[in-house]
Amino acid sequence: ESFSFSSFKEVESACWYNQGLNFATCHSNGSYALWDTKQQSNIVEIEKIPYGPYPCTAMTNICVKIMRK
């Protein structure tokens, strides 16, 4: 089974996490997004620009680490 996900920003890097159930992308405008593969409507779970409200330097790499209690 395959799905496609759409982003209106240029993707610089992607990373799978949570045993392949989710993935993260970082973009050329300095934002990153966390995607849920269970969402078939291509909805981004979270999207943030961590270094300001305006586009900035591209994020070229992303790595997600899950913190468990």
In this predicted model, what pLDDT tens digit does every residue of 7-61 receive, in sequence order? 667 889 999 998 888 889 998 888 888 888 887 666 666 778 887 767 678 888 9
Q: Which pTM value belongs to this model?
A: 0.73
Spatial CA neighbour of 8 closest among 57, 54, 42: 42
**pLDDT, position 47:** 78
Rounded Cα–Cα distance for residues 54 and 39 (Å): 28
